[in-house]
Every structure is written in C-alpha cells, then in structure tokens.
Amino acid sequence: MKKLSFSPLVFLMALGAGGIAVIPFALMNYSVDHPKGLIALKHILPLLDSSMGWFYYILMAIMIVFGVTHIVLMIQFFIQYIRWIKTPQAQEYKNDPLRNAGLTAPILATAMTFNLFIGVIRFFIPVLSENLQSLMLPALIAWGILWIITMKYTLVLVKKAFSTSFDMEKITFSRLLIPFTIGMVTVVGTGIAALAKDTMIAHTAAFFSLTSLMYGIFLFITKIITLFQKHFSDKNGLPNKHAMPGVLSVIPAMTLFGISTFRLLHYYGNQTGQHVESLTFFVIMGAFAFQTRYMLFGFTILKDYLTAEFWKKEFYLTMWGLICPLVAYAVMGSFAYNIFFKNPILYAIVILSTVLAIVMFIIISKKMTGCINNKSSIVCE
C-alpha cells in the first residue's frame, strides 16, 4: 500500500478545523443580542440558565474542541513543512504550475489562525475581550507581515504560471487556492479596519486590504473563466475524483470577498459617519444568494461522487476541500441572518451546514489517520 507522503495540502485539515470553530462564534455574534462590538463569553453566561442553555454549551464546546484541534494541527504540520521544504520533492512541487498553488495552503491556514484569535480565543479570555483596542496595533503589525508574505508568494506563483508552459487541459479548481488565500488574508485586515478606533490603524489596514481584495477578485474572476472554459470544452466530462472536491471551492472564496467588502463598508461608515446599511444588505445577500445557487449546482455535479467515490476506503488530500464550502456557507448564513431577517429556516440551515462540516471532518480524519497508520484497508493516493 502507498504510504501517505507530506504535501502542503495537509494544512487544509487545520483550515477546516479552524473554520468549524469559527462558525459558532459567527452564529452567536449575529443572533444573540449584545452591546456594540464582538460578542464575548460574558454576554452568553446569562443565557446558560435559560431553556436554550444546552444549545450554547454545545456551540462553545465546538469552539473549544475544534479551536484546540486547529492549533495542534498547525504546530504539527509546520514542523513537517519545515523539514519538507528543504527536500528535492519540495523544489519539484514549486516548479509544477499544475500543483504549486498548494503552496499557499500554509498561509491560508495561518490566516485562519488570525481569525480564530480575533473571534474564538478572544471570546473566552476576558482580558482580551475587554482590551481589544490595545491589541489592534500588534495585530496590524503581525497581519502586515503575513500580507507581505502572501503578496510576494502569490506573485511568484502567478509569474511561474505565466512563464512556464503546461497543459491547460490538466488544470483543476485547485487553482482557486491562490485567490482563496488572498481572500482569507484580506478578511483579517478588513476586520482590523472595521474594529480599530485609532484612525491611523484603521486607514492603514483598509488601504492594504483594499489592494489585496482587488488583486484577489481579479485572479478569482480570471481563473473561474479559464476553469469553466476548460471544463465545457473537455471531452472527458467531469473532473477525476481527486479534482471533484475542488468544484465547491468557489463558495469559500465568495464568502471571503463578500465579508471583506462588508467590513470595508463598515470601516467607511465608522470613519465618515455615512449610513452604509443598504449597501451592506446587497453585498451580503447578493453573495449569499449566489452561494446558495452555486451550492445547489455544485452538489448536483458532486452527487455521484458523494454517493459512490467518497465512501470508498481510500484517501487523498483534496478530500479536505469538501469542508471549507460548508464552513463558508454557514458563516455567510450567519451574516445573512443578521442583515436580512431572523428567519428560523435560515438559522436551521446554518446549523445543518455546521453538522455536515463536523461529520465530514470526522469521516475524512478517520480516512487520513488510516493512511498515516499504514492500515491496509485504506488506499492512500
């Protein structure tokens, strides 16, 4: 049996865990009444004795379990990554335009750690919740370093794609990892811009975020057009099983660009006193409506894969691409619940997406563990 070798795509597992941890925070932040600002543990404590107390206990348990899982996986994978990056296999990976988009996965997962810190970790630690503004400058500096690394690295990969010849018929939706990564880094910066009361910090974060947002959207649109043109002209029909999970990767990218725009509008409103509520409505609801339609389209395409291929005793790293769309849809659904109307059906959809993401995470984790433990019953590809 083939043993599972290291690939930067393992960071998608950590990304999925972090995303699942963020969902309950987003849901509580936009469904529970609390003072202006981000929700904190002190706002939930009075609700724990209510008839819905059990539900909030479950949400917080999810935040803790998957938040810790994310951090543990990040440490473990970065240790492996540091060893791998010096190998000939890493150099070969870098020089392959059909695969090297996967090199952005560590940056993508690191940006998720930022989101975890601002949302989940701050939620549970009172000293962070009560002194959020004092953390804005250190957060801006740390994010600025990540932003520079992201821009430099993605430009290198884009240049490689332009300067290296490769078979366009072999490209897959994994190419969307680059704009996905840019979007994840941008959403952190727009969060700083929207939250910071110091105008210099807010303006700085907003400017660089807007720059990367436009860059990410440009790459996203060009890659989407190229991918769909390729697939419509492909005589082989649907992508192979390794590429199938990537079909849904449009959804998380749309979520990040939508939330980034939403936060930039809030930044603008905070700094100018202008009313931006109507604009935020169209941004969030437009993105969520598109996602809903694309989710239906994507699962229609994936129907045979999910009912047959997915349940086979085999594992490949691209399976982790199934987690992020569910996470993204749940997070955007939480925003829509707050912006549009507090509809119990929409709330239930968010919960369902969360449950599906957790179930998928457990199933894929079990498959991956079987590969790592070299179990003969699991085929590793």
pLDDT the model gives residue 98: 78
pLDDT the model gives residue 363: 94
pLDDT the model gives residue 380: 77
- Dihedral angle over CA of 340, 345, 348, 350, nearest 10: -30
pLDDT the model gives residue 311: 87
Could you read off the pLDDT of 80-122 as tens digits, one per residue?
Answer: 999 999 899 888 888 888 788 889 999 999 999 999 999 999 9
Q: Tell me the angle at which helices 250-272 and 177-195 cross, rounded to the nearest 10 degrees.
A: 20
The pTM (predicted TM-score) of the whole model is: 0.93
Report DSSP letters for 285-303, one per residue.
Answer: HHHHHHHHHHHHHHHHHHH
pLDDT the model gives residue 166: 65
Residue 35 φ then ψ, to 5°: -60, 165
210 CB contacts (<8 Å, ≥6 apart)?
A: 264
Q: Which of 35, 37, 32, 58 is nearest to 47 (CA)?
A: 32
- Look-up of token digits 């078979």: 167
pLDDT the model gives residue 142: 97
pLDDT the model gives residue 209: 97
pLDDT the model gives residue 236: 66
Please compute, for residue 96, the number of CA atoms within 13 A of its CA located in the half-sphere on the CB side: 13
Q: Which of 303, 326, 347 is nearest to 252 (CA)?
A: 326
What is the mean pLDDT, run by run of 10 residues, along the chain of 381 residues?
Answer: 75 96 95 89 92 94 97 96 91 84 93 95 93 94 97 89 69 84 96 95 97 95 85 69 84 94 94 86 92 92 87 87 94 90 88 96 91 73 69
pLDDT the model gives residue 27: 95
pLDDT the model gives residue 189: 97
pLDDT the model gives residue 122: 94
Element (H, E) at 197: none
Q: Please, where are the H alpha helices in the chain?
A: 11-31, 41-44, 53-84, 88-94, 105-116, 122-124, 126-130, 136-163, 177-195, 199-233, 250-272, 277-307, 323-339, 344-372
SS3 content of the chain, % helix, strand, coil (to 5): 80, 0, 20
Domains of the chain in start order, with CATH, are 8-380 (1.50.10.150)
The C-alpha atoms of residue 327 and residue 325 are separated, in whole angstroms, by: 5
